[in-house]
Amino acid sequence: MQTKQTIAIIGATGNMGSSLARTLAKGNYRLLLKANQQEKLVEIVNQIKEETPGADVEAALCPKDASWEADIIIAAIPFRAEKEVAEKIRDYANQKIVISIANPLNETYDSLVTPPSTSAAEELQMLLPHAKVVKAFNTTFAADFFTPVINGKQVDAFLAGDDEEALGTVSELISTIGFNPIIAGNLSVSRTLENMQLLLIQLVKRYNYNWQAGWKILHN
């Protein structure tokens, strides 16, 4: 039997963090959830236990505790918070997979704050040089985590990274929650993935664009 992996989700009370936690709870994972607002975090833990009886989930007191015990750390936080969080977990993230889900959008959601020569994922890798950063989930809207299959077809979820084994592990995690993992390339491809989501946000705002159908083009 496969060993149960421990996943720490930092920012677990947010739109993305809570959606990831609720869907991953259905897999064979132990989840350690961390956020600033402890009361809200306990509510999410209770909600998960109600939705998924037998879920292995608990609230962690600090990001260090959560990261220390984790095999995989998901940074479900805004890009602007990553430097502060990375400083807290740096010593505990060595050789671990850290998933960057951030889209480094500006305040008006019409541009990225990162220069074209880098990405949020690459910036996180620089902050955590001994971790294996993988870009994933940034092209999935929080509300869509519960509909990974549309008209009988799995929605695509892109990932990128430099470590083959880490890409395999994150691909499995993506499959566990029902999406179709597509490895898009090495970590620098995160620049494209983050720009893809910027484009989607623009299209949704302008045309109420059906993004799920858009990303299914590879399957047709």
Q: Which of residues 38-77 bind ligand NAP (CB under 6 A)?
A: 76-77
Beta bridge partners of 150: 153
Between 28 and 111, whose beta carbon lies closer to ligand NAP?
Answer: 111
Minimum CB separation from ligand NAP for residue 146, in Å? 12
Minimum CB separation from ligand NAP for residue 62, in Å? 10
**Quick one: which H or E segment has residue 159?**
strand 156-161
By CB under 6 A, tell whether 14 contacts ligand NAP: yes
Contact (CB, 8 A) for 67 and 92: yes
Q: Which stretch binds ligand NAP (CB under 6 A): 5-13, 42-50, 156-164, 171-179?
A: 5-13
Between 17 and 27, whose beta carbon lies closer to ligand NAP?
Answer: 17
Question: What is the rounded CA–CA span in Å between residue 150 and residue 211?
Answer: 12
Beta bridge partners of 83: none
By CB under 6 A, tell whether 84 contacts ligand NAP: yes
Looking from the CA of 171 toward its CB, the CA atoms found within 13 Å total 13
- DSSP reduced 3-state for 138: coil
By CB under 6 A, tell whether 203 contacts ligand NAP: no
Minimum CB separation from ligand NAP for residue 39, in Å? 10
Question: What is the rounded CA–CA span in Å between residue 82 and residue 50?
Answer: 31
Tokens of 149: 């299959």
By CB under 6 A, tell whether 36 contacts ligand NAP: yes
By CB under 6 A, tell whether 92 contacts ligand NAP: no
Minimum CB separation from ligand NAP for residue 6, in Å? 19
Q: Which stretch binds ligand NAP (CB under 6 A): 12-20, 47-55, 107-115, 178-186?
A: 12-20
Question: What is the rounded CA–CA span in Å between residue 170 and residue 29?
Answer: 13
- DSSP reduced 3-state for 206: helix
By CB under 6 A, tell whether 161 contacts ligand NAP: no
Looking from the CA of 156 toward its CB, the CA atoms found within 13 Å total 15
Interface positions with ligand NAP (CB under 6 A):
10-11, 13-17, 35-37, 76-79, 81, 84-85, 101-103, 138, 141-142
